[in-house]
Amino acid sequence: MTKSAALPTPTVHGVNRVKEILGWYNGENPGVLANLARMMMHGTLGYTGKMVILPVDQGFEHGPARSFAPNPAGYDPRTHFELAVEAGCSAYAAPLGFLEAGAAEFAGQVPLILKVNSSDSLSRGEPCPAVTASVQDALRLGCGAIGFTIYPGSEERNIMYEELRELTMEAKSVGLAVVVWSYPRGSGITKEGETAIDVVAYAAQIAAQLGAHVIKVKPPAQNIMQAEARKVYEKQKIPVGTLAERVSHVVQSAFNGKRIVIFSGGPAKGTDEILQEIRQIHKGGGFGSIIGRNSFQRPKADGLHLLRQVMDIYLDR
């Protein structure tokens, strides 16, 4: 069995924090609440109300060489289970094939999120992921949640919203939590607009309205894409000058902070840049990070060290 990171000792404050967050979802059934609790109580950040999740869907999304050649060990699905377990991640998220390749061996060692839709980068058309796994697959593999990507701004967005509605209804009916990757993209969004503060905040709101329990968005930039939104931001003097202020606004946009919002690590970059970004996310009240390429594209020891540094920031160490 892979050696797990040391588990935190629950404190009264920590238990109460988990109960407080679960209270935001009091319309859900006990199964959903239990699976949300497992993610919040697991790993190095257990009982803090913060999460660091390892996502490895890039092989499907970007191709094997772009994803794994920088650290060839990553071609083996077991490597990512080991990284998530040893780092003490809150959960590990991946498509069907990667989870099937290790779910039995690593059963119970880390909460799992099955990514149930996926895109490839071979087509240049309007983004619209295919549904590539099912709620039954998630149950069979012992997952606590499903993950689903939507692309607000795509001409095909309504297809994704309707697919998510059906999968969310099924997942909740059997007690699984729902994690939504909400990434504005498509013909309705400029490249700069994909991370504009007004657009990222809108994407978080859409995911919350669609029933997501955990929402994943990109760290927002200072620019504003929508002309009508710009008028409001300026009139209401919404502060967006720092990343911490922008993170705070995105969290506010997800039901006034009553939904768990985590932020992606984005393209590979230097350690100092990553950690500075994490400090701003933490300062702004973000619930955590979901870091893939910046961890698994490094040699294992380096990836573990980075994830532990990130977790230390969320622990105020």
The CATH code of the domain that includes 293 is 3.20.20.70
- pLDDT by residue for the chain (317 residues), tens only, comes to 677 776 677 899 999 999 999 999 999 999 999 999 999 999 999 999 999 999 999 989 889 999 999 999 999 999 999 999 999 999 999 999 999 999 999 999 999 999 999 989 898 889 889 999 999 999 999 999 999 999 999 999 999 999 999 999 999 999 999 999 999 999 999 999 999 999 999 999 999 999 999 999 999 999 999 999 999 999 999 999 999 999 999 999 999 999 999 999 877 789 999 999 999 999 999 999 999 999 999 999 999 999 999 999 999 98
Q: CB within 8 A of 107, min separation 6: which ones? A: 142
In this predicted structure, what is the pLDDT of residue 216?
A: 98
In this predicted structure, what is the pLDDT of residue 6?
A: 64
- Residue 172, in any domain of the structure: yes
Residues 89 and 112: their CA atoms lie apart, in Å, by 10
Whole-model pTM?
0.96
- Residue 29, in any domain of the structure: yes
- Residue 146, in any domain of the structure: yes
- Residue 33, in any domain of the structure: yes
Residues 164 and 209: their CA atoms lie apart, in Å, by 11
In this predicted structure, what is the pLDDT of residue 10?
A: 86
- Residue 31, in any domain of the structure: yes
Residues 214 and 195: their CA atoms lie apart, in Å, by 19
Handedness of CA 76, 80, 81, 85 (dihedral sign): positive
Residue 29, Cα to own-chain centre: how many angstroms? Answer: 22
- Residue 16, in any domain of the structure: no
Instruction: Provide the residue range defining the domain that includes 184.
Output: 22-314
In terms of residues, how long is the chain? 317
Domain count, the chain: 1
- Residue 4, in any domain of the structure: no
Which of 266, 180, 252, 273 lies closest to 219, judged by CA?
Answer: 266
End-to-end CA distance of the chain, in Å?
Answer: 29
Residue positions annotated with a catalytic role: 216
Q: CB within 8 A of 177, min separation 6: which ones? A: 32, 35, 36, 39, 144, 145, 146, 171, 213, 214
In this predicted structure, what is the pLDDT of residue 123?
A: 81
Residues 36 and 238: their CA atoms lie apart, in Å, by 32
Alpha helices in 134-258 (DSSP H): 135-140, 157-173, 197-209, 227-235, 243-253
In this predicted structure, what is the pLDDT of residue 87?
A: 98
